[in-house]
Amino acid sequence: MREYEIYELLHRYGIKTPRYKVYEIDQEFYFDHFPAVLKIASDKVVHKSDVGGVRVGIHSNEELQQAKREIINNLQNNSIFLDMNDRFIVEEEVHGVEFYIGGIFDSIFEEVLLFGKGGVTIEIERDICYIDSEADEPEILKSFRTTKISKIFPKFRGKEYKIAYVIDTIEKFQKLFTHEDIVEFDINPLVYTDEGFVAVDARVKTGQKSRAPRRQRSFDIFHNEKVAILGATDKPQKVGYALAKNALQSGADIYFVNPRLSRLFGKRVYKAIQELPDIDTAVIAIPSRYVLQSVEELAHKGAKNIIVISAGFKEVGNQEAEEELTKMAEHYDLNILGPNSLGLYNGDKELNLTFAADSILPGHIGLISQSGAVLSALIDKSLSYALGFSHILSLGNMADFDFADAIETLQNKRRCRYINLYAEGLTHGKPYLRAIRKSAKPIAIYKAGKSEEAKRAAFSHTGNISGDYEMLVGLSYAAGAIIKKDIDELVFSSLYAEKREALIVTNAGGPGTILTDILVSHGKKMASLDEETIQKLSAVLPPTWSKNNPIDIIGDATSKRYKAVLDIVYDEKRLIFVIVTPQYMTDGLNIAKTLLAYPNAVPIFFGEERFKEAFELFKEHKRIHFNDLENVANIL
Amino acid sequence: MREYEIYELLHRYGIKTPRYKVYEIDQEFYFDHFPAVLKIASDKVVHKSDVGGVRVGIHSNEELQQAKREIINNLQNNSIFLDMNDRFIVEEEVHGVEFYIGGIFDSIFEEVLLFGKGGVTIEIERDICYIDSEADEPEILKSFRTTKISKIFPKFRGKEYKIAYVIDTIEKFQKLFTHEDIVEFDINPLVYTDEGFVAVDARVKTGQKSRAPRRQRSFDIFHNEKVAILGATDKPQKVGYALAKNALQSGADIYFVNPRLSRLFGKRVYKAIQELPDIDTAVIAIPSRYVLQSVEELAHKGAKNIIVISAGFKEVGNQEAEEELTKMAEHYDLNILGPNSLGLYNGDKELNLTFAADSILPGHIGLISQSGAVLSALIDKSLSYALGFSHILSLGNMADFDFADAIETLQNKRRCRYINLYAEGLTHGKPYLRAIRKSAKPIAIYKAGKSEEAKRAAFSHTGNISGDYEMLVGLSYAAGAIIKKDIDELVFSSLYAEKREALIVTNAGGPGTILTDILVSHGKKMASLDEETIQKLSAVLPPTWSKNNPIDIIGDATSKRYKAVLDIVYDEKRLIFVIVTPQYMTDGLNIAKTLLAYPNAVPIFFGEERFKEAFELFKEHKRIHFNDLENVANIL
């Protein structure tokens, strides 16, 4: 498309361009919006500027005529001779802050807009945000506010900048990109003017868009009344043993299947799927080559939820078998979890259908993990601090059931209060974003695979391309998810999620300063002390105490002084951090014992050798505690 | 200064400006560098653009005449009437990528340049670096390379950008800023052209520069043959007791002073300073009101190094006594460490003159900390992992001895291999940067107090203004320091500092991916596996292993498999990480036992409950280990 044809396309969607006129090669100029630019528009000229095909700063129709002669001369010097198919375009010069808008049709997220600072050095500055084509006004704003250039709105250096123009322009481009056969476009610059954004330089690439279809599901994956376990075994070193043992802990009806076994844990073992009574859920832990056949038989038996523990599919290059699974899920209307899954945990019935070696405590975290190993680690950690789960889904290779399905499923689970995701890559981007948008529960996400090296590592292990980190994180954040920087946060951040105001009690100023930095950078507000509290504290503290939050109770503080202060400031609604550094008079163990009476205070014992017993005590009481300031971020 | 006067100043230092001519109010124009800009230069006009005092895009002398009439009209409409003192400036338009250069005279670092991306949105983009006025070419480059805009050098979008122009321009501004009575200036834009940078818009603020004088030292603070301890006591809850006890562990001559005690630890206690034999070092741990008098007496006694443990000076608002200490240091040519210091450790004699409750192991880390509490914590942690120190200096309030002195002192200490700093604020910026530049040993720095809230906290506790985080960190980095993000790195990063190539052995892909991210972002190179190693590994690993670094040895790996792999890839020169996730078959304790035979492998047991015994074993063997991936950064 020639530039003026793109201008016409933009106009159809209400997007402004500079006022312009197209002239035939021998037509006389008459233009009245100066200063103006004259450009050649010819299929023979690709890079106009390189051959002298552009002239700026024109102030009158006479100068236009003069500029035209110059351009024709320049072109002739480059052996380009114009004919009747060529055109001249005159357009007004547009000045203002330069923005950029672009669009890409991504294999996972489909139409995605990029918006931010424009100009010639755009790829170097990268002050750009990602905006989904389905994002509404608040989501557009949330995304845009992650850019630096957004700070000129609503006012900068005495000039007004209307955020409504941003919304309006992006909405128009969302419409254009969705309705037209465009797979890529760039507008740079998109100039901010007092009348709105004006698209000055435009490039468009047309093409076919192929979209990944998405299934409708009719059955709840957590409907698990009658459960068959294929591959249940009496060999303790096999996962089928762990699965059988874990499953039996709950009240659900469990049926074991194994052709080479008669009884297991005092229960009958079925030789074949055909022998089973009606079931709704099946867990498959048999060699991969038997999986497809079994899924088919289970489907005929009426099973709706199939959890494929077995590995040996996409992640080892067995793409074909994996695709077969996807097709079967669709054909028989199944929920297939996995393959290469650790299983699921259904907290509503305390039904553990994983082969995790740890027991899983009931609680309020809904945890969705692509990696089974990461899930094992998080379960193991949660057990040490008595943290519980409402639901766990190990997605594995995601042949069928994916993140969007998982988020939607957890919406109507009453016990689930937090939805936490560990993601390496995604399959269906748009449904995933829609699920986040609609979620009534907070969604936190940790995304692995940021660097190029890490992406290669991820590819070799799960068969999932990690995808673009910035795009996934940017879109998820704008849609409403919380982005986590440390995997441990996926379980620990649920601990104090509701507490916004933070208070620090410390026996050393430096660490108080550092923790303040960490809290503020995680969006926590530092509580302020009122006059009454300050007076009360002054009555129990040495005169040199800080009179401020962080409450510096001075290096010689013993457990008695910590107790006196906590008795005054302790408040269930606040996030209270107690920093203890190993100074000369510090009685770590006694301070630890004191803290047991204040369950909401978070102990940070910044040391190691002299705090060994204190740490033992906290572990014994399954109390979260830290020996490092930076790690406190894990619970924020 | 009028703009053309600034232009003249810039020319004197060889800095380019646009070609320009200054015209009297009724003088006829004759200019020949078009397109040009016409500007009014009048003391009656402050903001030229706001009153129509600027006209751009002028192509001829006739248009200049026309533009002059327009400007005069515009000014009259704003009730500004020109007279014979006013001037018109005509200058050529300069186009190109817009940079910024500015200078501030900082109370700590004195002349500092700011350089980076220019334009109207500069304070929003902040793509700027700090450059010391004494920085040489490599240091200027190192600083500039932290900006995004530096990426256009040496070539961007087919156009050449000469880095020599950057160096040349900055060197000229360094000279100008140092030689002239300028306390602040801004050039925006500073335009990159094919002939070099051109300063277009300039603003300069002149004024007096007051510089903090710096002392010359004649005595080594670690010359500690005969040491007096003032305030040595038999009361175990007092720091004077700990000081006395710690000091006695070494072979130095220790003398106790306390008017109310006769003997301590079987040694004579002197009643007064006058009774002491000749000493070179004194440690003062007595109430602050007696400190000044004691320093004076000690100076007369010939003491050269005075370590003031006593608090109660600047940090509680006692500015006067602190200034008195500073003066005494100068007057008597003393090294005064503190006040409010934890003391010093002299590893050359294993002499511990701190009141740390932990013992200090000899080793190679030189640790310099402003905060005594942070120092206590780091000593306590180091003890848990058998890490040792060559020298420790607790700077406290820095009435006299500061970071620059400390860095210089450690240069000629043979045992000291790493110089690690914990800083809240600085006193003498330029000597500090010079010391970093000259250092033959790696210098690492952790700076506290990034957010506004944290700065307030720091101010209330040490009496040191935290200073601008970005400036201190930017200048330190360019001068050659390594910037640390976690305090613990100040001791742990010495462990594997020399190893550059990293190798990961893991029983799970996801965590391998995440660790790869962390290593790469910390500048480590991932080792590649050669064909021979891959074949050897294939002989001991299941066929689905990753064939790549990270070496994914699959979830069912037991200690035997870990051992088989380590026997093939273990290499003292490499940084080897062993990730263990608690999967079904994982025998944590056995894997931990196996790892004891590979002292350079770093265990990362990503879990908690199932790894309790493994962690105990590592602690017992004082072996560094992790239960979290992100924390691995502590040793990088």
Tell me what the mean pLDDT of segment A245-254 comes to: 92
What pLDDT is stored for residue B34 in this prediction?
Answer: 87
For residue A127, CA distances in Å to A143, A635, B500 come to: 12, 30, 32
Q: Which CATH architecture has domain A19-92?
A: 2-Layer Sandwich (3.30)
- pLDDT category at A463 given cuts 50, 70, 90 is very low
| C-alpha Rg value of chain B to the nearest Å | 32
Enclosing H/E stretch for A23:
strand A20-24
For residues B379 and B377, give the distance between their C-alpha atoms in angstroms, rounded to a whole number. Answer: 6
Please name the residue that has the structure tokens 């996934």.
A472
- pLDDT category at A201 given cuts 50, 70, 90 is confident
Judge whether residue A154 has pLDDT over 70: yes
From B383, B514, B608, residue closest to A609, measured CB to CB: B383
Fold of A501-635: Rossmann fold (3.40.50)
Q: Among A315, A410, A420, A436, which residue's Cα sits nearest to residue A369?
A: A420
What pLDDT is stored for residue A45 in this prediction?
Answer: 86
Determine the angle formed by the axes of helices A163-179 and A137-144, rounding to 10 degrees: 110
User: Using CA of residue A203, residue A208, residue A214, residue A216, what is the dihedral sign?
Assistant: positive
Task: Please list every residue in chain B whose beta carbon sits closer than 8 Å to the beta carbon of residue A607.
Answer: 376-377, 380-381
For residues B288 and B310, give the distance between their C-alpha atoms in angstroms, rounded to a whole number. Answer: 6
> pLDDT: is A4 or A181 the higher one?
A181
The tens digit of pLDDT for each residue in A16-74 reads 999 999 999 999 999 999 889 999 988 888 778 788 898 888 888 988 998 999 999 99
Q: Among A165, A131, A177, A135, which residue's Cα sits nearest to residue A13?
A: A177
| Helices vs. strands in chain B: H and E counts, helices first | 19, 31
**B358–A582 C-beta distance less than 8 A:** yes
- pLDDT category at A466 given cuts 50, 70, 90 is very low
Cα A258 from chain centroid (whole Å): 41
For residues B46 and B53, give the distance between their C-alpha atoms in angstroms, rounded to a whole number. Answer: 10
Are the beta carbons of B516 and B550 closer than 8 angstroms? yes
**B371–A509 C-beta distance less than 8 A:** yes
For residues B627 and B631, give the distance between their C-alpha atoms in angstroms, rounded to a whole number. Answer: 8
Residue B3 token pair: 């703009």
Q: How many CB pairs under 8 A join A and B?
A: 298
The tens digit of pLDDT for each residue in A500-513 reads 799 999 999 889 98
- pTM, whole model, 2 decimals? 0.91
ω into A189 cis (within 30 of 0): yes
> pLDDT: is B482 or A251 the higher one?
B482
A237 contacts chain B (CB < 8 A): yes
B62 contacts chain A (CB < 8 A): no
Judge whether residue A175 has pLDDT over 90: yes
For residues A6 and A203, give the distance between their C-alpha atoms in angstroms, rounded to a whole number. Answer: 8
Are the beta carbons of A591 and A601 closer than 8 angstroms? no
For residues A57 and A437, give the distance between their C-alpha atoms in angstroms, rounded to a whole number. Answer: 48
For residue B302, the distance in angstroms to the closest alpha carbon of chain A comes to 30
**A384–B609 C-beta distance less than 8 A:** yes
The tens digit of pLDDT for each residue in A562-617 reads 999 999 999 988 999 999 999 998 999 999 999 999 999 999 999 999 999 999 99
Cα angle vertex B64, ends B61, B65, to 5°? 95
Q: What does pLDDT average to over chain B?
A: 93
Coil vs helix vs strand at B487: coil
User: Using CA of residue A382, residue A386, residue A389, residue A394, what is the dihedral sign?
Assistant: positive
For residue B459, the distance in angstroms to the closest alpha carbon of chain A comes to 9
What pLDDT is stored for residue A3 in this prediction?
Answer: 82
Residue B600, judged by CB atoms within 10 A of its CB (0-12, 13-18, 19+), counts as: middle
What pLDDT is stored for residue B459 in this prediction?
Answer: 54
For residues B557 and B564, give the distance between their C-alpha atoms in angstroms, rounded to a whole number. Answer: 11
Give the strand pairing for B36-41 and B54-58. Answer: antiparallel
Residue B232, judged by CB atoms within 10 A of its CB (0-12, 13-18, 19+), counts as: buried
The tens digit of pLDDT for each residue in A399-411 reads 999 999 999 999 9
A552 contacts chain B (CB < 8 A): yes
DSSP B368-385: EES-HHHHHHHHHHHHHT
Best A501, A513, A561, A628 residue to mutate vs chain B (most B CBs within 10 Å): A513
Nearest CA in chain A to B514: A448
List, in sequence order, every residue forming a beta bridge with A87; answer none if it has no partner.
A24, A41
Strands (E), A302-348: 305-308, 335-337, 343-346
**B486–A582 C-beta distance less than 8 A:** no
List, in sequence order, every residue forming a beta bridge with A61; answer none if it has no partner.
none
> pLDDT: is B463 or B383 the higher one?
B383
* Rounded (10°) CA dihedral B410, B411, B413, B414: 140
Torsional class of A109: left (φ above 0), alpha (ψ -120 to 50), beta (otherwise): alpha
Residue A236, judged by CB atoms within 10 A of its CB (0-12, 13-18, 19+), counts as: exposed
For residues B519 and A209, give the distance between their C-alpha atoms in angstroms, rounded to a whole number. Answer: 38
From A422, A550, A585, residue closest to B457, measured CB to CB: A550
What pLDDT is stored for residue B443 in this prediction?
Answer: 97
What pLDDT is stored for residue B528 in this prediction?
Answer: 93
Judge whether residue A157 has pLDDT over 90: no
For residue B521, the distance in angstroms to the closest alpha carbon of chain A comes to 8
**Residue B500 burial (CB count, 10 A):** 13
For residue B101, the distance in angstroms to the closest alpha carbon of chain A comes to 18
What pLDDT is stored for residue B467 in this prediction?
Answer: 57
Task: Please list every residue in chain A whose beta carbon sits closer than 8 Å to the beta carbon of residue B521.
Answer: 450-451
- pLDDT category at A458 given cuts 50, 70, 90 is low
Give the type of residue at B426.
L
Determine the angle formed by the axes of helices B559-569 and B588-595, rounding to 10 degrees: 30
Which long-range CB contacts under 8 A does B233-242 form with residues at least 24 apart? B233/B258, B233/B261, B233/B264, B234/B261, B234/B264, B237/A585, B238/B285, B239/A584, B239/B285, B239/B309, B239/B355, B240/B285, B240/B286, B240/B355, B242/A584, B242/B355, B242/B356, B242/B357
Task: Please list every residue in chain B whose beta carbon sits closer than 8 Å to the beta carbon of residue A117.
Answer: 121, 125
Task: Please list every residue in chain B whose beta carbon sits closer than 8 Å to the beta carbon of residue A59.
Answer: 57, 59, 63
Tell me what the mean pLDDT of segment B12-26 comes to: 95
**B157–A120 C-beta distance less than 8 A:** yes
The tens digit of pLDDT for each residue in A285-343 reads 999 999 999 999 999 999 999 999 999 999 888 999 999 999 999 999 999 999 999 99
For residue A272, the distance in angstroms to the closest alpha carbon of chain B comes to 26
Q: Among A437, A430, A439, A478, which residue's Cα sits nearest to residue A170?
A: A478
ω into B543 cis (within 30 of 0): no
Task: Please list every residue in chain B whose beta carbon sits closer than 8 Å to the beta carbon of residue A355.
Answer: 584
- pLDDT category at B352 given cuts 50, 70, 90 is very high
List, in sequence order, every residue forming a beta bridge with A54; answer none if it has no partner.
A39
So what CATH class is B98-206?
Answer: alpha beta
Are the beta carbons of B101 and B66 closer than 8 angstroms? no
For residue A322, the distance in angstroms to the closest alpha carbon of chain B comes to 16
B488 contacts chain A (CB < 8 A): yes
From B455, B546, B606, residue closest to A377, measured CB to CB: B606
From B370, B453, B581, residue closest to A516, measured CB to CB: B453
Task: Please list every residue in chain A whose beta carbon sits closer than 8 Å to the beta carbon of residue B584.
Answer: 239, 242, 355-357, 376
Nearest CA in chain B to A93: B57
The tens digit of pLDDT for each residue in B85-108 reads 999 999 999 999 999 999 999 989
- pLDDT category at B290 given cuts 50, 70, 90 is very high
Nearest CA in chain A to B96: A120
Identify the DSSP state of A82: -
- A residues 347-406 closer than 8 Å to B (CB): 355-358, 370-374, 376-377, 380-381, 383-385
Residues 6+ apart with CB under 8 A from B562: B505, B553, B578, B580, B591, B594, B595
For residues A504 and A574, give the distance between their C-alpha atoms in angstroms, rounded to a whole number. Answer: 10
A227 contacts chain B (CB < 8 A): no
A59 contacts chain B (CB < 8 A): yes
The tens digit of pLDDT for each residue in B268-281 reads 999 999 999 999 99
Are the beta carbons of A338 and A307 closer than 8 angstroms? yes
| A111 φ/ψ angles, rounded to the nearest 5 degrees | -70, 120
- B residues 298-337 closer than 8 Å to A (CB): 311-312, 315-316
Q: Among A278, A294, A276, A277, which residue's Cα sits nearest to residue A286?
A: A294
Cα angle vertex A374, ends A371, A380, to 5°? 140
What pLDDT is stored for residue B468 in this prediction?
Answer: 84
What pLDDT is stored for residue B291 in this prediction?
Answer: 97
What pLDDT is stored for residue A464 in this prediction?
Answer: 47
For residue A117, the distance in angstroms to the closest alpha carbon of chain B comes to 10
Judge whether residue A368 has pLDDT over 70: yes
B610 contacts chain A (CB < 8 A): yes
Task: Please list every residue in chain A whose beta carbon sits closer than 8 Å to the beta carbon of residue B462.
Answer: 509-510
For residues A348 and A147, give the distance between their C-alpha atoms in angstroms, rounded to a whole number. Answer: 42
Coil vs helix vs strand at B292: helix
What pLDDT is stored for residue B515 in this prediction?
Answer: 94
Find out if CATH 3.40.50.261 is the number for domain B226-492. yes
- A residues 243-282 closer than 8 Å to B (CB): none
For residues B154 and B418, give the distance between their C-alpha atoms in angstroms, rounded to a whole number. Answer: 35
Task: Please list every residue in chain B whose beta carbon sits closer than 8 Å to the beta carbon of residue A383.
Answer: 608-609
Residue B221 token pair: 């603070």
For residues B152 and B465, give the distance between their C-alpha atoms in angstroms, rounded to a whole number. Answer: 37
Q: How far apart are the first and last CA of chain B?
A: 51
Residue span(s) of chain A under CATH 3.40.50.261 come to 226-492, 501-635
Tell me what the mean pLDDT of segment B116-132 comes to: 91
Residue span(s) of chain A under CATH 3.30.470.20 come to 98-206
Q: How far apart are the first and last CA of chain A?
A: 51
From B97, B374, B586, residue closest to A510, measured CB to CB: B374
Residue span(s) of chain A under CATH 3.30.1490.20 come to 19-92
Give the type of residue at A285.
A
Are the beta carbons of A86 and A25 closer than 8 angstroms? yes
Best B95, B492, B516 residue to mutate vs chain A (most A CBs within 10 Å): B516
Task: Please list every residue in chain A whose beta carbon sits closer than 8 Å to the beta carbon of residue B62.
Answer: none
Judge whether residue B464 has pLDDT over 50: no
ipTM of this predicted structure? 0.88
Residue A536 token pair: 């009360």
